[in-house]
Amino acid sequence: MMGKNLWIAFVTALALTACDNTLDVTAPFENVPIVYATLNPDSDTQYVRIGRAYLGQDGPNGGVAHPDSLYYPSLVAHIQAFKENGDFAWEKALEVTYDIPKDSGLFTTQGHRLYRLILPGFTANSSRLDWEYKLVLKKDSVSPVFATAVTPLVNSETFTLKKPTPIGIQRLNLTSTKGQEIEWYQAKNARAYQGYIDFLYMEMPEHQQSDSTRHVVRYYLPYQLGSTLNGGATTKTTLTYQEYYQFLAESIPVRAGHIRFFRGFTLYLTAGTDDLATYISVTQPSNTILQDPPFFSNVQGGAGIFASSAGLIRPNLGLADRSHDSLVFGKVTCELRFAKATFLDTLTCN
């Protein structure tokens, strides 16, 4: 009988041990470099964010106030360039800089440490767009390489607008049957595309133009994946009257006694490399019950992303007459009191 009781006690203890879901929030210190960078093909200055994992015996918040827990004290970082045929082109050392401020928050306030590379004449070299770039990290000048990452550059010369045209007078027609198409040529070496359009307007108390203020409302375009890395194909999205004007109605507050004047659109588009597209995809919030999202990094010996992105800007876009009339007099945006100046008067919805 005693043997039976001992067996029951043993099974019970084993079951309790197997069901122990306690989370261990401390661990021995581990050296893991964390890299974030997107090289800009149209800039002579490049920035790379390099930190390190700080989880140790003090738990997840143990080292947040100490720079030595976030940064390598004597890190040596280089970028190497390789020509299209694989031949070595050059190697440059990155320097520590604090010239970009950090948002306030939990972590150390002792500067936002970045690594900067200034390359005079970089953008004047058209061959740069066909080269490959490698980040090389050492803990100090006498230590071996412990992390690397490689990326091509987005070919910004192949990243151009089709609709609206990149030059000339262009007015968006949001009230057409199909809405206003925004279409661009995909860039070589790019997969991810993201953009936004800024709506610029002036606001003032009625009959007090001297008190006018300028404002911007930003509308984000859908994130899209390109169909090729070779460039030349087209990607497009559409702005429709109902969706966009409803967005304006919800984003701009109603102000009694004030009128507003439309002052134009500015369109921004960004293209990112294939690895950046993959990184964005796997780090999106999950819509399933899966608790552990897949991990992706192109940093060998570390985590994060070393990629490239290029942007284009199309300022000074106008609004077609019908679309302007709908902004001023249409029921969706009527309460915003946008105005239309004529030779005789200033017209508003009411």
- Do residues 15 and 36 lie in contact, with contact meaning Cβ atoms separated by under 8 Å? no
CA pair distance 318, 174, nearest whole angstrom: 11
The burial class, CB within 10 Å (0-12 / 13-18 / 19+), for 284 is exposed
Domain boundaries, the chain: 33-152, 156-274+309-347
Predicted local confidence at residue 7, as pLDDT: 42
Q: What's the distance, CA 30 to chain centroid? A: 29
Neighbours of 252 (CB within 10 A): 19
DSSP string, 239-289: E-HHHHHHHHHHHSPP-TTEEEEEEEEEEEEEEE-HHHHHHHHHTSPPSSS
Predicted local confidence at residue 151, as pLDDT: 98
CA pair distance 133, 153, nearest whole angstrom: 8
Contacting residues for 208 by C-beta, under 8 A, at least 6 apart: none
Mean pLDDT by 10 residues, the chain (350 residues): 44 43 48 93 97 60 56 94 97 93 59 90 96 97 96 97 93 94 98 98 86 95 96 96 96 94 97 97 73 82 96 96 95 94 79
Q: With left for phi above 0 and alpha for psi between -120 and 50, is residue 220 left, alpha or beta?
A: beta
CA pair distance 224, 260, nearest whole angstrom: 33
CA pair distance 4, 8, nearest whole angstrom: 6
Give, for 41, the enclosing helix (H) or strand (E): none
Predicted local confidence at residue 138, as pLDDT: 97
DSSP string, 82-121: E-TTS-EEEEEE-EEE--SPPPPSSS--S---EEEEE-TT
Predicted local confidence at residue 12, as pLDDT: 42
Contacting residues for 91 by C-beta, under 8 A, at least 6 apart: 78, 79, 80, 81, 136
CA distances from 107 to 54, 59, 64 (A): 12, 14, 5
- Do residues 273 and 3 lie in contact, with contact meaning Cβ atoms separated by under 8 Å? no
Predicted local confidence at residue 144, as pLDDT: 96
DSSP summary character for residue 219: E
Class of domain 33-152: mainly beta
